[in-house]
Amino acid sequence: MAASKSTYRAVQAVSPGKLELANLPIVDPPAGHVRVRVEACGVCHSDSATVEGILPIQWPRVPGHEAVGRIDAVGQGVEGWSVGKRVGVGFLGGACGYCEYCRDGDLVNCINQGYTGVQHDGGYAEMMIAKASGLIAVPEDLSAAAAAPLLCAGLTTFSALRNSPARAGDLVAVFGVGGLGHLGVQYARRMGFEVVAIDRGDDRAKLSAKLGAHHYIDSSTTDVAKALQERGGAQVVLATASGGKAVAAALGGLRRGGVVISLGATDEPIELSAFEMLFKQLGVDGALTGTPKAGDATLRFSALSDVAAMIETMPLERAAEAYAKMMSGKARFRMVLTMEVS
């Protein structure tokens, strides 16, 4: 399905679980927005909120919140961004600047901020409209396909570690060496932490070592909490695996004053011991992506320190196949859609 000069190709979620390729009309960006000619877009598990209809959306909707491209047109009132500028669009659609959280500097929790690919069309497309306040600057030395997963998986893990109480030399554990965790291990190593990777099986042990982990714990054969305590306890456990049980299991491996940071989105409850939390001063926190400035830093740090996602690319028209492979857990580790760039 070729696009004309007045249309662009996009893959839309048209009903729960169904993705279709369509031609959509090219429109000018409204005030405060830009139009981006997309070059690549990551396929993230959070896209299921749109594709499966988990969150209330208006059908049809274009998913995708790991989009990289160049600004094609600039709306009225936009400052600091120009046509041709290389940008990324992440999950957070852009802060309003005037709500109580924005006024306090907390742009992540802006109450008027839409989610890309949920409330408005995302990056499974050759073009998209994006709010200027949410744009992330993409370095020229990162390819579009390499940069795309860093806008969500990278930003989330990088921000969580950078904002954590851990300091260089501290023991930091990454629970789950998958789509998020394989980036978390790399960031943790390059930030100067002593890194413990936690997963199942010998293949993940080899991968963890290749990614830079100093130690590996096989959770299928080893008591994770005991193994971490034998090394003095972790200052931070980055729990990338979805599930409350994983978070609860990690809690016992913390040193006094340590914290588990949960990144896996799940409705499974986390069972915690109030006794341990009180007497060991343990903490449980969550991290939802990061600010545009943190996104800038994520991409710069990744380029400078050679942090890279393991990706598999597919053309836009195979978006349904890429999404299915991601959802089945067969992707290793991030699927990225690529567009024809003319």
Regarding the domain with residue range 7-149+309-338, which homologous superfamily does it belong to in the CATH classification?
Answer: Medium-chain alcohol dehydrogenases, catalytic domain (3.90.180.10)
For residue range 155-199, what is the model confidence (pLDDT) as tens digits? 999 999 999 999 999 999 999 999 999 999 999 999 999 999 999
Give yes or no for residue 340 having a pLDDT over 80.
no
Strand partners, 198: 175, 217
* pLDDT for res 242: 65
**Rounded-to-integer distance, Cα 328 and Cα 342, Å:** 33
For residue range 287-298, what is the model confidence (pLDDT) as tens digits? 889 999 999 999
* pLDDT for res 277: 80
Q: Measured in whole angstroms, how far is the alpha carbon of residue 80 from the centre of its chain? A: 25
* pLDDT for res 280: 86
Domain at 155-286: CATH code: 3.40.50.720
Q: What is the mean pLDDT of the chain?
A: 94
* pLDDT for res 342: 47
Instruction: For the full predicted model, state whether its pTM sits above 0.85.
Output: yes
Residues of the chain with CATH 3.40.50.720: 155-286
Residues of the chain with CATH 3.90.180.10: 7-149+309-338
**Rounded-to-integer distance, Cα 57 and Cα 51, Å:** 10
Residue linked to tokens 């306040």: 133
For residue range 277-327, what is the model confidence (pLDDT) as tens digits? 888 889 888 888 999 999 999 999 999 999 999 999 999 999 999 999 999
For residue range 211-259, what is the model confidence (pLDDT) as tens digits? 999 999 999 999 999 999 999 999 999 999 766 777 777 889 999 999 9
Q: Are 44 and 153 in contact (CB under 8 A)?
A: yes
Report percent pLDDT > 90 for the chain: 83
Nearest alpha carbon to residue 93 among 308, 295, 266: 295
**Rounded-to-integer distance, Cα 342 and Cα 338, Å:** 13
